[in-house]
């Protein structure tokens, strides 16, 4: 069973996908990449903006689910406590979280002269996966210019596959990377979007499942059967949800991982962040009581299901758009399309 030769591959789903079938179908969300491919260096940075305004002054409500905590992300503790995001979200390799955090903080300081002077500091969010199977990760090749390139290039149209933070990632025995998808749902007579973006570096070779069909990817990597990667999952929506409900949505992403063949192994850092553009929290307010909207919990299954479908497809899309790559120490991981051609 092969996949269709199309640049907008979609799994069968209950809910229709958005116009781009990307996380940016949620209005205001943009994504930028910086990709480094030089010899044995295969890494980069991806930046995701929840909206196009000043995120520090106009925060979005958010929830975090640490599915398996084998990870080195930065900024999640405050999101867990306050339920808001106030910076773009960066995705890179494990040993580049420091430089990414520094540059993102500088970026926010440039836009907000009050930070650290008349108000508090800023909670910069950086997420990571270990790309050391294909990238010279010890060389720490991500530099300030690469982080800025990702931030400055953010757009509603962006590439998937072996780009940005996903450049050197490996997933389920094949070449992983960045994947994205979206679903449209109608609630109370109005159309809303649930979108996702993933950086896939998880799973054991031989466990890949696409649409319920198992693929033995050990044929591409004989003997490579240990789950030693991670995945970062971002879920965006314009549905009014509060931070508690967003955390519940983030938790459901584990179902999508299971559908694609993951069991969240010991060494896999599986992190999900969900946010809504519908509920904004101002940094400054003359009022002590703020108004926000939430979803009626008895009817929230539609949001859960759309999120699971979107994340599942984003995972497969990350594989579908990533080509075969040979990296550090001669390691080679096959792209999904090439693998299927040989099946």
Catalytic residue among 268, 310, 317, 318: 268
State CA 300 to chain mean position distance. Answer: 22
Phi, psi of 313 (to 5 degrees): -70, -35
What is the full DSSP assignment across 65-87? EEEEE----BSHHHHHHH-EE-S
Task: Give Dmax over CA atoms of the chain in angstroms.
Answer: 64
Q: What residue has token string 């031989």? A: 206
Question: Quick check: is 292 catalytic?
Answer: no
| Adjacent-strand bridge partners of 198 | 179, 233
What is the full DSSP assignment across 121-176? ----EEEEE--TTTS-GGG----HHHHHHHHHT-BSS---BS-GGGTT-EETTEE-
Catalytic residue among 131, 136, 227, 270: 270
Phi, psi of 102 (to 5 degrees): -60, -45
Q: Are strands 230-237 and 269-282 parallel, antiparallel or unpaired?
A: parallel
Give SS3 for 268.
coil
Catalytic residue among 180, 181, 182, 230: 230
State CA 205 to chain mean position distance. Answer: 21
User: What are the CA-CA distances from residue 243 to residues 75, 95, 173, 246, 271 (Å)?
Assistant: 16, 30, 35, 5, 16
Euclidean distance between CA atoms 108 and 51, whole angstroms: 14
Question: Quick check: is 230 catalytic?
Answer: yes
Question: Quick check: is 288 catalytic?
Answer: no
Task: Provide the 10 A C-beta neighbour count for residue 244.
Answer: 12
Burial of 287 (0-12, 13-18, 19+ CB in 10 A): exposed
What residues are annotated to the active site? 230, 268, 270
């Amino acid at each position: 069973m092969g996949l269709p030769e199309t640049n907008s591959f979609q799994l069968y789903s209950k809910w229709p996908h958005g116009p781009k079938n990307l996380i940016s179908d949620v209005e205001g969300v943009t994504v930028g990449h910086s990709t480094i491919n030089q010899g044995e260096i295969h890494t980069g940075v991806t930046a995701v903006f929840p909206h196009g305004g000043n995120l520090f002054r106009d925060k979005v409500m958010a929830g975090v689910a640490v599915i398996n905590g084998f990870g080195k992300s930065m900024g999640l503790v405050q999101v867990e406590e306050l339920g808001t995001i106030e910076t773009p979200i960066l995705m890179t390799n494990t040993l580049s979280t420091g430089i990414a955090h520094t540059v993102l903080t500088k970026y926010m300081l440039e836009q907000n002269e009050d930070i650290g002077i008349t108000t508090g500091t800023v909670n910069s969010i950086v997420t990571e996966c270990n790309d050391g199977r294909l990238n010279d990760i010890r060389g720490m090749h991500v530099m300030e210019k690469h982080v800025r390139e990702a931030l400055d290039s953010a757009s509603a149209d962006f590439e998937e596959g072996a780009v940005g933070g996903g450049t050197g990632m490996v997933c389920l025995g094949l070449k992983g990377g960045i994947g994205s998808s979206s679903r449209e749902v109608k609630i109370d007579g109005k159309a809303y979007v649930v979108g996702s973006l993933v950086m896939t570096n998880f799973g054991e070779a031989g466990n890949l499942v696409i649409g319920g069909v198992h693929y033995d990817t050990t044929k591409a990597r004989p003997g490579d059967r240990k789950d030693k990667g991670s995945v970062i999952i971002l879920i965006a929506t314009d549905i009014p949800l509060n931070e508690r409900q967003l955390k519940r949505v983030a938790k459901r992403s584990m179902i999508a991982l299971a559908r694609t063949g993951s069991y969240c192994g010991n060494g896999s850092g599986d992190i999900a962040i969900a946010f809504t553009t519908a509920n904004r929290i101002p940094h400054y307010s003359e009022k002590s009581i703020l108004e926000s909207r939430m979803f009626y919990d008895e009817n929230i299954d539609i949001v859960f299901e759309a999120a699971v479908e979107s994340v599942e497809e984003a995972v497969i899309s990350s594989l579908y758009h990533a080509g075969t790559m040979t990296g550090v120490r001669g390691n080679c991981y096959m792209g999904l399309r090439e693998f299927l051609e040989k099946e």
